[in-house]
Amino acid sequence: MTDFPDTYLQCGRYRLKISGPSFRPLVMGVLNVTPDSFSDGGRFSSLDAAITQAELMIESGVDIIDIGGESTRPGSPPLSIEEELRRVMPVLYALRDCGKPISVDTRRPEVMYEAMIAGVDMINDITGFRDEDSLSLLRDSDCALCIMHMQGTPQTMQHEPSYDDVVREVSEFLLQRADAAASEGIDRRRLCIDPGFGFGKTLQHNLELLANIGRIQHQLSLPLLAGLSRKSMIGKLTDKPVEQRMAGSIAAALYAIAQDARIVRVHDVAETVDAISVWQTAKNAEVKINPID
């Protein structure tokens, strides 16, 4: 794996190793607290269920827990700020001292502010912090920013998405937003990037981005997060419904890591952690072949 000028991602109260000889790819666990999530059917929308799921993730070796209060599946209606806060904040307060970095998946500065006050370690924004208030709001905090690319909005993003060169255009957007954050005074050691698989992309666009993860990451010199778990591209490739996409999702995560992704965002934490452990052990093993006399 290619090393970075900085070995760590500053993630709120934590410094996450993203490079170097002892680096292990990081696993971000998805904790949707929405009643209409595409991937888990709202199974963790109650506080008790969300806490139990987070505890299972921690036992399984998760590195970051990502709390999401708004469904961003294609065609999903927008959520009010009040409702998003009602869903997210009790879970954030319950988990903030769990011993793992806590991320909040939100595109609203109002939610970012409340999460920051509560001690969140990362903000994961599907819009790439395009709201003019978000970067200035987060400037003086120490939380990490995950900058994601999305074409359009959740309501429109899968209406015939089009690019002249998807890899170039996504890279240029991520670079522009990273530069905007730096111009606002946000240390680059707090930034990671996400090409936004499934957010305004066809299957072919997603495959081109997946094959070029290393190129995108090298150009920006920022750690890349790959979120492929259970997405429609996995369904199209395997012809499986969302509840049967674990194997395909793990395969996609391992391929992303092989292409140099530093973080994978997943629903099936235990299985992904095991798969990465086996993959990395095999990759790092020294195979000695005895010559034939």
- Catalytic residue set: 231, 265
Give CA–CA dist 266/280, Å, rounded: 18
Angle at 287 between CA 281 and CA 291, to 5 degrees: 170
Question: Do residues 30 and 266 lie in contact, with contact meaning Cβ atoms separated by under 8 Å?
Answer: yes
Sequence-distant (≥ 6) Cβ neighbours of residue 67 within 8 angstroms: 31, 33, 50, 88, 91, 92, 95, 102, 103, 104, 105
